[in-house]
């Protein structure tokens, strides 16, 4: 590697470190340790970055960059480009309907990959998403209203229907955080519902109408989404944590072991070839459909309520197939 390339990569790395530095900033000694170079080089690099961007001196000898400010020039190495490509491909394939701003964001990010094959594949996927799965005008307007409420801290009034209840319910909410669905399609909004006087989660697709009020709101507290969703299987949180324990059959053991299904999961290979799998989660409603998807290749050991529910569903399914077989004469 030439000196010019080496310097460019170190500058990029330092800029990224400063972009994600803690609020109290990082000192030259900490930066030199992370970058593995001397203090004189760090000070020189800080001057060069400062010529392009605003380097914030938090306190004497502590620096950081504004995390919301764009990196001046993103240069992706091959592995980094592939990482971005995989993330975008997953998003595109799992998105049933996308608002216009997501499409323009994709178009801006893709050129940074600079790998012809990956860029062409993503460009074709974005074109398909734009032509066949773009949000309706009314839904796009709802997104715009909620985004403005979130950005400007304005209370939003929404008409909302849950998955089980077709009736529309009005909520006055303070938008706080957006979270993607992990095992399905959709985006969720975590908000403080003034109507319910509690934190609530709303799927954006189920909002029929969103309207800005004239009421401003103040941040109640810093929302730590990672801590809030630590024990969530999907998007549910705030319930009593339960331990789910499953035993997977030998024929699916390899698949269970090679995949991370939840950050807190525990796996143990048993002498008979089965896998003992467990996790502590908030509620079992979301995980039940995932368990049922394994069919006879999994047995629920705990909790008892989940075991009974899955067993009941299996008996109902078996009876349905038996009835249809008899009616067709097969």
Please give the pLDDT value at position 216.
96
Summarize the confidence of residues 210-234 as an average pLDDT: 87
- Residue 250 or residue 8, greater confidence: 250
Distance CA 261, CA 281 (A): 12
Asked if residue 15 lies in contact with residue 72, where contact means CB atoms within 8 angstroms, the answer is yes
Domains and CATH numbers, the chain: 3-64 (1.10.10), 78-132 (no CATH), 137-228 (2.30.30.520), 241-324 (3.30.70)
In degrees, rounded to 5, the angle at the alpha carbon of residue 237 between the alpha carbons of residues 281 and 171 is 160
- pLDDT surpassing 90 at residue 225: no
Q: Cis link prior to 303 (omega < 30° from 0)? A: yes
- For residues 188-209, average pLDDT: 92
pLDDT value at position 264? 94
What's the confidence (pLDDT) of residue 1? 42
User: Does pLDDT of 165 surpass 50?
Assistant: yes
Q: Are 29 and 39 in contact (CB under 8 A)?
A: yes
pLDDT band at 228 (very low <50, low <70, confident <90, very high): confident
Question: Does 4 score more than 60 pLDDT?
Answer: no
* Rounded mean pLDDT, 198-202: 91
Average pLDDT, the chain: 87
* pLDDT tens digits, one per residue of 253-269: 999 999 999 999 999 99
Is the per-residue pLDDT at 189 higher than 90? yes
Contacts of 62 (CB under 8 A, 6+ apart): 24, 25, 26, 27
Average the pLDDT over 153-160 and give the result: 96
Flag whether pLDDT at 141 surpasses 90: yes
- The residue-averaged pLDDT of 178-203 equals 88
Percentage of the chain exceeding pLDDT 70:
93
List pLDDT tens digits, range 273-326.
999 999 999 989 889 999 999 999 999 999 999 999 999 999 999 998 886 655
**Coil, helix or strand at residue 165:** coil
> Could you read off the pLDDT of 95-120 as tens digits, one per residue?
888 888 888 888 888 888 878 888 88
* pLDDT, position 70: 63
CA–CA separation, 10 vs 244, rounded Å?
46
Task: Tell me the CA end-to-end span of the chain in Å, nearest whole number.
Answer: 70
């Amino acid at each position: 590697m030439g000196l010019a390339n080496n310097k460019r990569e170190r500058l990029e790395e330092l800029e990224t470190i400063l972009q994600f530095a803690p609020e109290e900033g990082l000192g030259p000694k900490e930066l030199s340790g992370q970058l593995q170079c001397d203090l004189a080089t760090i000070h020189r690099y800080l001057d060069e970055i400062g010529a392009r961007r605003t380097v914030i001196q938090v306190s004497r000898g502590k620096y950081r960059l504004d995390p919301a400010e764009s990196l001046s020039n993103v240069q992706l190495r091959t592995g980094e480009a592939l990482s971005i490509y995989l993330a975008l491909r997953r998003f595109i394939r799992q998105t049933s309907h996308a608002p216009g701003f997501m499409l323009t964001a994709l178009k801006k990010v893709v050129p940074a990959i600079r790998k012809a094959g990956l860029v062409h594949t993503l460009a074709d996927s974005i074109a398909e998403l734009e032509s066949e799965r773009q949000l309706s005008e009314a839904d796009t307007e709802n997104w715009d209203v909620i985004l403005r409420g979130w950005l400007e801290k304005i209370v939003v009034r929404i008409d909302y229907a849950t998955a089980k209840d077709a009736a529309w319910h009005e909520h006055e909410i303070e938008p706080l955080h957006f979270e993607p669905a992990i095992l399905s399609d959709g985006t969720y909004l975590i908000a403080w519902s003034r109507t319910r006087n509690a934190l609530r989660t709303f799927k954006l697709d189920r909002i029929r109408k969103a309207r800005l009020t004239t009421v401003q709101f103040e941040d109640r507290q810093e929302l730590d989404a990672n801590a809030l969703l630590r024990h969530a299987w999907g998007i549910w949180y705030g319930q009593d944590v339960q331990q789910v324990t499953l035993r997977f059959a030998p024929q699916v053991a390899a698949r269970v072991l090679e995949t991370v299904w939840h950050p807190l999961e525990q796996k143990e290979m048993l002498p008979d070839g089965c896998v003992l799998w467990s996790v502590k989660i908030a509620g079992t409603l979301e995980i039940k459909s995932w368990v049922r998807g394994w069919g006879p290749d999994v047995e629920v050991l705990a909790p008892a309520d989940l075991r009974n529910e899955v067993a009941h569903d299996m008996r109902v399914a078996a009876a349905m197939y038996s009835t249809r077989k008899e009616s067709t004469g097969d």
